[in-house]
Structure 1
C-alpha cells in the first residue's frame, strides 16, 4: 500500500508541477490559445499565476514532507487541497463543455482522495 501511495503522490506531483510551470511562466495570451487552457481568457494574469504557484506548492507538498520525514501530515493536507482545486477545475471545464478534461480532472481528484485517505 505504501508503494502505491508513493507512486500516486509522485504522479500527481508531476501533474501539479507541469500545470504549475505552465500557468506560472507562459503568458496569459498564449495560454488562452492552448486546448484545455481556454478558461484563462476569463481570468486575470495574477489569478492564473496564483493558481500556478498553488500547483507548484502542491507538487512539493505531495512528496517532500513524507520523503524528508518532516511534517508528513502535510501530504494528506496537500492532497485535500488538491481535491478542492480539482472541484474548481471540474466546474470550470464543465461550464466550457470540455467534458474530456472534466473526466481527466475526476481522475486527478480520485488519485488525490486515495492519497488523502491513505496518508491520513
Structure 2
C-alpha cells in the first residue's frame, strides 16, 4: 500500500508543481492564450498567482512531511487541500462548458483523495 501511495503522491506533486509554478511565473495574458487556461480570463493576476501558490505548496506538502517524518499529518491535509482546489477547478471548467478540461480535474481530484485517504489511514 505504501508504494502505491508514493506513486500517487509523486504523480500528484509533479503535476501540481508544474502547473502551480506556471501560474506563478507566466503572465496572465500568456496563460489566457494557452488552450487549457482560458479560464484565466475570468480571474485577476493576483487570484491566479494565489491559486498557483496554493498548488505549489500543496505539491510540496504531499511529499516533504511524509518523507521527512516531520509533521506527517500535513501530507494528508495537503492532499485534502489539493482535492478542494480540484473541486473548484472542475466547477469552473464545467460552468464554462469546458467538459474535457473538467474531466481532467476529476482525475487529479481522485488522485488527491487516494493520497489523503491512504495517508490518513497510515498515520
Q: After TM superposition, what 4+ stretches of structure 1 lie above 6 angstroms from structure 2?
A: none
Q: Say what the alpha-carbon RMSD is for the aligned residues.
A: 0.6
Structure 2 distance, partners of 1:86, 1:97, is: 16
- TM-score scaled to structure 2, two decimals? 0.95
Match of 1:76 in 2: 76
- The answer to whether 1:35 aligns with 2:35 is yes
Structure 1 distance, partners of 2:58, 2:83, is: 11
Structure 1 distance, partners of 2:9, 2:85, is: 16
Structure 2 unaligned residues grouped into runs of 5+: none
What is the deviation of 1:100?
A: 1.1
Structure 2 distance, partners of 1:14, 1:98, is: 23
- TM-score scaled to structure 1, two decimals? 0.98
What is the number of residues matched between the two proteins? 120
What is the deviation of 1:21?
A: 1.1
